[in-house]
Structure 1
Amino acid sequence: DWAAAWQRHLSVNLLGTALLSHRAARSMIDRGTPGRIINIGSRGAFRGEPDHPAYGATKAAVHALGQSLAVSLAPHGIAVASVAPGFFTTERVASRLTGEEGESIRAQSPFGRVGTAEEIAGAVVWLASPGAEWSSGTILDLNGASHLR
């Protein structure tokens, strides 16, 4: 079970990201057009995930992949960046935001709340914009000061 969980995380978080990044880059290079690749990592890559080590490790690998691609793809006009969201509300985690667990999660940020999908999307839209090219290689922390590095 343990090895299968690691394999799932590797397949989805890292290999899936690598394959999509490769396909996007190949398409841009073949057409001779510049572009952007933005990967989604996690603050768990930096603060650790003791209950979910495979998640934290594979998200750290996503950030390392993005930085490697930023260097190798820059000559083609392709900027690569990553975002590292903290806890944010989605349908999948809505039940965790109730009761004591929800209070504990919200207390991780001095804002006393979790992020929203719209906040993550807004950062991705900016990273995809022409004005964000110089941020290639960056890992943008989006966690409401719940983890500082």
Structure 2
Amino acid sequence: MNLPPSGRRVLVSGASRGLGRAVAQAFAANGDRVAVHFGSRVDDARLTLESLAGTGHVLVGGDLTNPNGAAVVVEMATEALGGIDVLVNNAAVNTRHPLAETSYEEWAAVWQQHVAVNLLATANLSHLAARLMIDQNTGGRIVNIGSRGAFRGEPDHPAYGATKAAVHALGQSLAVSLAPYGIAVASVAPGFFATERVAPRLEGPEGEAIRRQSPFGRVASAEEVAASVLWLSSPSAEWSSGTILDLNGASYLRS
């Protein structure tokens, strides 16, 4: 049930831009075939697809907040790639909602959205992909994108921090239950990293303070995070199953 070092079939959720795009590019450069999932940003997803090295990649659109939508995404990826060896759960939302400034109606809606996308979509895709890997009898890898905020708290984004903590816990539970099938499950917990979405913050007045969070005096690149995802998906990383890998440039150290 050992995975090959390349030539694998990889589904990356939320891969239209940002970290998802960097992850898709890392797998493609490794010689893997990638299903690029998108929710609504089809034009961005096409740009991701066009940027990938190699051939055999595919776009897969679908609403992951709906369990049926998640099933369709996995079905389309499986049909296009001939199976799934690696799942990267990257799709997420992160809406600012500090309690003191947020109405109850908005608060409830934001929490429902974060739970649906960040947690339930991750759980549903993991179930679907893992059952497929079990049926294939080839082993597999699941890597979840968590967050430093799961440990240090997110006062302006509490639903994000809470759901990412749940994603970490989910990954560790699945690591234990899926190991007998040769499926390793791990999570990464990035700190602040540069993407198109956060570029205005990094270029604005708070940019220097954000960079000073790390003693390196900078933030990570999406490519650095993607490299860790690629390694955790590799054959040599099986013994790291169950880990939560901190990727925050020593900006937050947990015991």
TM-score (norm. length: structure 1) = 0.98
Out of 55, 59, 63, the position equivalent to 2:164 is 59
Q: Which runs of 5+ in 1 are unaligned?
A: none
Q: Which amino acid aligns with 2:186?
A: A
In structure 2, how many angstroms separate the alpha carbons of the residues matched to 1:79 and 1:106? 33
Gapped runs of 5+ residues in structure 2?
1-105
Instruction: Tell me the alpha carbon deviations over residues 13-67 of structure 1, each in whole angstroms, 9 at most, x when there is no partner.
Output: 1011111111110110011111100000000000000111100000000000000
Partner Cα separation in structure 2 for residue 124 and residue 50 of structure 1: 27
Work out which of the residue numbers 201, 206, 226 in structure 2 matches 1:101: 206
- In 2, the alpha carbon distance for the partners of 1:99 and 1:79 equals 40
Q: Which residue of 2 is the match for residue 118 of structure 1? A: 223
Partner-residue secondary structure (3-state), 1:92: coil
SS of corresponding position for 1:5 = helix
Greater displacement, 53-62 / 92-101: 92-101
What's the RMSD between the two structures over aligned residues?
0.6
1:33 pairs with 2:107: no
Q: Secondary structure at the match of 2:206?
A: helix
Question: 1: CA distance between counterparts of 2:128 and 2:225?
Answer: 23
Aligned AA (1:145):
A
Whether 1:75 aligns to 2:213 is no
What SS does the aligned partner of 1:100 have?
coil
Write the deviation string for residues 79-103 of structure 1: whole angstroms up to 9, x where unpaired: 0000000000000110000232101
> 1:127 is matched by which residue type in structure 2?
L
User: For 2:250 and 2:172, how far apart are their aligned partners in 1?
Assistant: 23
Kindly provide the CA deviation profile for residues 74-129 of structure 1, in whole angstroms up to 9, marking residues without a partner as x.
00000000000000000011000023210110010000000001000100010000
Code of the residue aligned with 2:132 in structure 1: it is S
Structure with the bigger RCO (C-alpha within 8 Å, sep 6+) is 1
For residue 87 of structure 1, the aligned residue among 192, 201, 210 is 192
Q: In structure 1, how many angstroms separate the alpha carbons of the residues matched to 2:200 and 2:162?
A: 25
CA distance in 1, matches of 2:229, 2:130: 17
Report SS of the residue matched to 1:145. Answer: coil
Matches of 2:180 and 2:117 in 1, distance apart?
A: 28
Deviation at 1:141, TM superposition (A): 0.3
Q: Distance in 2 between matches of 1:27 and 1:104?
A: 45
CA distance in 2, matches of 1:58, 1:12: 9
Please tell me whether residue 12 in structure 1 is matched to residue 129 in structure 2: no
Identical aligned pairs, as a percentage?
81
Query: 1:126 & 1:37 partners in 2: Cα distance?
Result: 12
> Which structure has the larger Rg over C-alpha atoms?
2
Q: Distance in 1 between matches of 2:221 and 2:120?
A: 26
- Specify the code of the residue in structure 1 equivalent to 2:121: G
Q: The residue matched to 1:147 in structure 2 has which SS? A: coil
Aligned length: 149
